[in-house]
Amino acid sequence: MLHFYYGVMGSSKTAQLLMQRYNLQQLGLKVAVLKPAIDTRAEHDIVYSRVGLQAKAEIVLQPDHSIKEQLNWLAIQRAHNDFQFVLVDEAQFLSAEQVQELADLSLDLEIYCYGLRTDFRGQFFPGSAALFRLAEDIQEVPGGLCWCGKKATMNTRVDPEGNVIREGEQVLIDNQQDIRYMGLCYRHHREGKSHA
Ligand SMILES: [Zn+2]
């Protein structure tokens, strides 16, 4: 089955992925962790959570990679082909074609994708749009809060002074540019208020 666990920036998506991986491994189940190459928050093959958990991704996906080929390659490297679980971090950065591959692979595998629903303009990422179309199980990862204490639903790009940015490229990675991201409630996203 293909699962999509979506959440706003600041919800604990990656921490949840890493705990799921740990729990599966404790049971002796075979897990592969994938991440798209675009996430450069940490070393490029490290899946990293703000709360301090981290793990090495088995596969770093380029946009033109076939996930099926990559998993086959991994199975050969590991001398087994019995992955039961595939966990994907930052799944919003998958291409629609890659999500289609995951949907086909999910006939034989349990595949959990963790990612953002929308970008800083409130538009779908290609990977998220495809996951909403194709995932059989869609759940929200709770926990993201606006500064006002309400549930955060909108990913917001802000400049160093805290001004809300509404235009620009869909993907700009924080820490590399002069921007950062925060989750706001819809009211404060709409009003452009990133602090009290
Ligand atoms: Zn708010």
DSSP assignment of 62-124 equals: -TT--HHHHHHHHHHHTT-----EEEESSGGGS-HHHHHHHHHHTTTSEEEEEE-SB-TTSPB
Neighbours of ion ligand 1 (CB under 5 A): 146, 148, 150, 185, 188
Specify the pLDDT at position 81. Answer: 61
How far apart are alpha carbons 26 and 91 in whole angstroms? 24
User: What's the CA-to-centroid distance between 106 and ligand 1, angstroms?
Assistant: 37
Distance 145 CA to ligand 1 centre (A): 8
Maximum C-alpha span of the chain: 55
Q: What is the pLDDT of residue 6?
A: 97
Residue 102: Cβ within 10 Å count? 27
Question: How do the pLDDT tens digits run along the chain, 196 residues long?
Answer: 999 999 999 888 999 999 999 999 999 999 999 999 875 555 678 888 888 888 899 999 998 999 999 998 888 887 766 789 999 999 999 999 999 999 999 999 999 999 999 999 999 999 999 999 999 999 999 889 999 999 999 999 999 898 999 988 888 876 666 888 999 999 999 999 999 8
b/e string for 152-161 if b means 16 or more Cβ within 10 A? Answer: bbbbbbbeee
Q: Which neighbouring-strand residues pair with 86?
A: 32, 111
Predicted local confidence at residue 179, as pLDDT: 87
Give yes or no: 90 in active site.
Answer: yes
The pLDDT assigned to 178 comes to 83
Homologous superfamily of the 2-140 domain (CATH): P-loop containing nucleotide triphosphate hydrolases (3.40.50.300)
Residue ranges per structural domain of the chain: 2-140, 154-191
Contact between residue 196 and residue 62 where contact means Cβ atoms under 8 Å apart: no
